[in-house]
Amino acid sequence: LRIKTVPTQPFEGQKTGTSGLRKKVKVFMQENYLANWIQALFDSLPPEDYKNGVLILGGDGRYFNREAAQIIIKIAAGNGVGQVLVGMDGIMSTPAVSAMIRKRKANGGFIMSASHNPGGPDYDWGIKFNYSSGQPAPESITDKIYGNTLSISEIKMGDIPDVDLSRLGRVDYGAFSVEVVDPVADYLELMENVFDFSLIRSLLSRSDFRFIFDAMHAVTGAYAKPIFVDKLGASPDSISNGVPLEDFGHGHPDPNLTYAKDLVDVLYGENGPDFGAASDGDGDRNMILGRAFFVTPSDSVAIIAANAQETIPYFKTGPKGLARSMPTSGALDRVAEKLNLPFYEVPTGWKFFGNLMDEGKLSICGEESFGTGSDHIREKDGIWAVLAWLSIIAYRNKDKKPGEKLISVSDVVNEHWATYGRNFFSRYDYEECESEGANKMIEYLRDLVSKSKAGDKYGSYTLHFADDFTYTDPVDGSVVSKQGVRFVFTDGSRIIFRLSGTGSAGATVRVYIEQFEPDASKHNVDAQTALKPLIDLALSTSKLKEFTGREQPTVIT
Ligand code: VG1
Ligand code: CO
């Protein structure tokens, strides 16, 4: 294997955000832009972490992935990696990459995806690197990579031809080899071990239960048919937008009420199906819907946790601990309390759950941003969440005769609220604001925090405390600060402000609003109505309109 040394110059701004490096495709298509970052990554890892080792490579099928895969493979070869396992056609979901790293005992893996951001020549591209236990690289590594991107001067590339990604099998180039693998098989095997497939099949094959899964023309298109249809007996027409496309069919592959509107309309339409779900670009997010009913992600993780032991074989001895990101509602906290389980609150982004899982402290976790998962891998997992929900519904209906009324998604959620109370929750996103105004707003809020004290009045609410969230990792002691400004009131209500770390242009402001309601007679109120006073308070406290010039959010979840 001959290795070429390619001279290069640093690019500015190659700093990773909440989840990998994300930029417009045009930025990534500049000569050496991606190559620089990949080389900087190898320059940041201890050699024993990759020399002669195995790396997994996958992606969500978006525009530029094919070219990017060839660049990554060549640089891996040039830096002494032993083998790259790449998904056929460059396809592999984020959870499947995490699963394959673990199963094949690989040193790590690359995911070519900007997740829920749109794709195509004018939109976004991204790259994530996961470590040997399958978890997103920690900040200690990503900070090093960024440092190295600022001084890089050469790239090492294996002098090999482009690999034919459309054909399964292995090609050898001396000490280096590439194997094109089935992106589904390992992941499917894992799902069969986690869940009771015959239980789920008993539900999906019923004629009185109708299921629909929207792959949004993204990566789960490759997984939906083999899993839901071929293995679990769902009808072939239950999969919509099931072919991965480079531009996601001009869509925005983000499973929420705004961007998965087609699916929402079907579920809320006349005689809609009983269960609907969708996943995002790279397959780690999920949205769960019942007939004319939306399950808030914060409730979803709480309900999965409360039912896991009974309905999912993987949890048959009970979950070890539960965790959520800071802005996620406190519904999960109440389940942890009732089940007497250790509980953790971490900053936004999945990378903070991994350490807790590796230490055996955490089994089930989630984020309000449509991310739910467990320690079966080290990423959030969209299809896992759908299978978890199907397990719950299947278990509740397993003795129902044909024609008998089934227990529905909304029945399960209403029961949960009746037991635990309801945490009303909503998030307002203001996408692509001017960075200057958005930064000033956060500065203003930090200043407000520093002047605030318990007992201060905010309209009809009394302040319990306000801070800018800081997290100390209980496993390695690392500290991250400035993770979101929060105002917590004496009745448990919260308003939280953050700037997104996953956008590719301007600044996205996120406002999170939460209020607890113990009284079951008040649970069937629309969240926007129930939260109206608190939403108004959040907007006036932050002077959001003044700072950003925005009257309305772009997305409400
Ligand atoms: C967003 C979400 C966060 C999630 C992250 C990655 O980050 O808020 O909860 O972990 O996206 O999700 P931010 O910084 O934009 O708020 V994904 O599906 O892009 O891997
Ligand atoms: Co994603």
Same domain, 126 and 50: yes
Same domain, 369 and 297: yes
For ligand 1, what atom is nearest to the CA of residue 280?
A: 18
Same domain, 413 and 482: no
pLDDT of residue 259: 92
In testing the pocket of ligand 1, which one of 282, 348, 370, 381 has its CB within 8 Å of the most ligand atoms?
A: 348
Strands 239-240, 211-214: pairing kind: parallel
For ligand 1, what atom is nearest to the CA of residue 281?
A: 18
Give the C-alpha separation, 352 to 348, whole Å. 8
Minimal-distance CA residue to ligand 1 atom 10? 349
Neighbours of ion ligand 2 (CB under 5 A): 115, 280, 282, 284-285
Give the C-alpha separation, 32 to 383, whole Å. 35
Tens place of pLDDT per residue across the chain (557 aa) = 899 999 999 999 999 877 789 999 999 999 999 999 999 999 999 999 999 999 999 999 999 999 999 999 999 999 999 999 999 999 999 999 999 999 999 999 999 999 999 999 999 999 999 999 999 998 889 999 999 999 999 999 999 999 999 999 999 999 999 999 999 999 999 999 999 999 999 999 999 999 999 999 999 999 999 999 999 999 999 999 999 999 999 889 999 998 999 999 999 999 999 999 999 999 999 999 999 999 999 999 999 999 999 999 999 999 999 999 999 999 999 999 999 999 999 999 998 999 999 999 999 999 999 999 999 999 999 999 999 999 999 999 999 998 899 999 999 999 999 999 999 999 999 998 999 999 999 999 999 999 999 999 998 999 999 999 999 999 999 999 999 999 999 998 999 999 997 777 789 999 999 999 999 999 999 999 999 999 999 999 999 999 999 999 998 98
Query: Using CA of residue 357, residue 362, residue 366, residue 372, what is the dihedral sign?
Result: positive
Q: How far is the CA of 240 from the centre of ligand 2 (A)?
A: 19
Give the C-alpha separation, 430 to 30, whole Å. 29
Beta bridge partners of 117: none
- Expressed as residue numbers, the domain containing 235 is 187-420
Same domain, 43 and 171: yes
Same domain, 353 and 376: yes
Integer CA distances (angstroms), 501 to 8, 498, 506, in order = 27, 9, 11
Residue 376, SS3? coil
All residues at 6 or more sequence positions from 265 whose CB lies less than 8 Å from its CB, including other chains: none
Q: Does any ligand 1 atom lie closer than 6 A to the CB of residue 349?
A: yes
Q: Does any ligand 1 atom lie closer than 6 A to the CB of residue 285?
A: yes
All residues at 6 or more sequence positions from 172 whose CB lies less than 8 Å from its CB, including other chains: none
Same domain, 119 and 231: no
Contact 136, 97 (CB under 8 A): no
Minimal-distance CA residue to ligand 1 atom 6? 19
pLDDT of residue 139: 84
136 DSSP assignment: B
pLDDT of residue 140: 86
Q: How far is the CA of 116 from the centre of ligand 1 (A)?
A: 9
pLDDT of residue 153: 97
In testing the pocket of ligand 1, which one of 93, 129, 351, 369 has its CB within 8 Å of the most ligand atoms?
A: 369
Q: How far is the CA of 342 from the centre of ligand 1 (A)?
A: 24
Q: Which residue has the tokens 């530029």?
A: 64
Q: Does any ligand 1 atom lie closer than 6 A to the CB of residue 348?
A: yes
Instruction: Please state the ipTM of this predicted complex.
Output: 0.97
Identify residue 501 by its one-letter amino acid code: G
For ligand 1, what atom is nearest to the CA of residue 17?
A: 14
Long-range contact list for 254-257, CB < 8 A, 24+ apart?
254/116, 254/117, 254/280, 254/281, 254/285, 254/370, 255/116, 255/214, 255/216, 255/279, 255/280, 255/285, 255/286, 255/287, 255/370, 255/382, 256/287, 256/370, 256/555, 256/557, 257/294, 257/556, 257/557
Identify residue 186 by its one-letter amino acid code: D
Classify residue 2 by burial, with Cβ atoms within 10 Å: 0-12, 13-18, 19+: exposed
Q: Does any ligand 1 atom lie closer than 6 A to the CB of residue 371?
A: yes
Residue that is last in its domain, among 367, 385, 420: 420
Total domains in the fold of the chain: 3
Minimal-distance CA residue to ligand 1 atom 1? 502
Same domain, 302 and 160: no
Q: Does any ligand 1 atom lie closer than 6 A to the CB of residue 501?
A: yes
Same domain, 416 and 426: no
Q: How far is the CA of 297 from the centre of ligand 1 (A)?
A: 13
Integer CA distances (angstroms), 120 to 35, 220, 248, 260, 478, in order = 20, 18, 8, 18, 38
Same domain, 244 and 347: yes
Minimal-distance CA residue to ligand 1 atom 16? 500
Residue that is last in its domain, among 156, 183, 210: 183
For ligand 1, what atom is nearest to the CA of residue 510?
A: 16
Same domain, 365 and 509: no
Q: Does any ligand 1 atom lie closer than 6 A to the CB of residue 18?
A: yes
Nearest to 86 by CA among 102, 105, 103, 66: 66
Q: Which residues are annotated as catalytic?
A: 115
All residues at 6 or more sequence positions from 165 whose CB lies less than 8 Å from its CB, including other chains: 66, 69, 86, 88, 89, 90, 180
Instruction: Write the CATH number for 440.
Output: 3.30.310.50
Instruction: Write the CATH number for 229.
Output: 3.40.120.10
Minimal-distance CA residue to ligand 1 atom 5? 349
Beta bridge partners of 471: 480
pLDDT of residue 236: 94
In testing the pocket of ligand 1, which one of 15, 18, 129 has its CB within 8 Å of the most ligand atoms?
A: 18
In testing the pocket of ligand 1, which one of 19, 142, 216, 432 has its CB within 8 Å of the most ligand atoms?
A: 19
pTM for the model stands at 0.94
Same domain, 230 and 289: yes
Residue that is last in its domain, among 162, 183, 204: 183
Same domain, 547 and 503: yes
283 DSSP assignment: S
